[in-house]
Amino acid sequence: MSRTLVRHRPRQWPARQRGFSLIELVAAFVVFALGFAVLMGILSASIRNTRLAAEYTQAALWAQSRLDVVGIDEKLEAGRKSGRFDDQYRWELDIQKYEPPPAANAAPQPEGFQNIELFRVDLEVFWGERRNPRSAHFVSLRSANAEVGSVRTDGSDGAVQPPGQGAK
């Protein structure tokens, strides 16, 4: 057997199949750039929304701490107050007496509940720059005994007793 060496000539590709044309490269780059710009816009909006959510969360925490002392450390009385939490957040508090609407089939109130006053507490928390101010509004109802520290004419001290138990 004899060996025959066969030389293969390199295959010639047609001109259209040798690579990408300049127009195809430019089109691919434009598609990539548009996709990248959309992705950056989405990331930017996501970061902005995350920062805004953190600011509202901080405002809610400040509001909760302020509302916690109303009626406990401070006496409940109608009026307006304002102040600052820190360099960024400030507050305005408005306390007004609240009269609940009468119920259609209201049962008589138990002894001692006639002396409870309700107050509507409106707290507004502000923050942000002058050109872009932000605020959050919080509302709560608080109760107070109208006769704290006074002696009642029926001989009791004004404390509210559970139903079925009278003053001793």
CA–CA separation, 148 vs 144, rounded Å? 8
* Three-class DSSP category at 57: helix
Q: Which of 83, 85, 98 is nearest to 140 (CA)?
A: 98
pTM value is 0.62
> 106-127 pLDDT, tens per residue?
666 666 566 778 899 999 999 9
Tokens of 166: 């009278």
Strands (DSSP E) found in 2-150 = 79-84, 90-98, 116-129, 132-145
Contact 107, 133 (CB under 8 A): no
Q: Kindly write down the DSSP assignment for every residue of 106-137, as one continuous string.
A: PPPPPTTGGGEEEEEEEEEEEEEETTEEEEEE
> How far is Cα of residue 20 from the mean position of the Cα atoms in its chain?
53
**Can you give the pLDDT at residue 71?**
83
Per-residue pLDDT of the chain (168 residues), as tens digits, is 566 666 777 666 565 566 789 999 999 999 999 999 999 999 999 999 999 999 999 999 999 999 998 888 888 889 999 999 999 999 999 999 998 777 767 666 666 566 778 899 999 999 988 898 999 999 999 888 766 543 343 444 444 444 444 444
CA–CA separation, 70 vs 94, rounded Å? 11
Contact 121, 140 (CB under 8 A): yes
Provide long-range contacts, Cβ within 8 A and 24+ apart, for 151-158: 158/112, 158/115
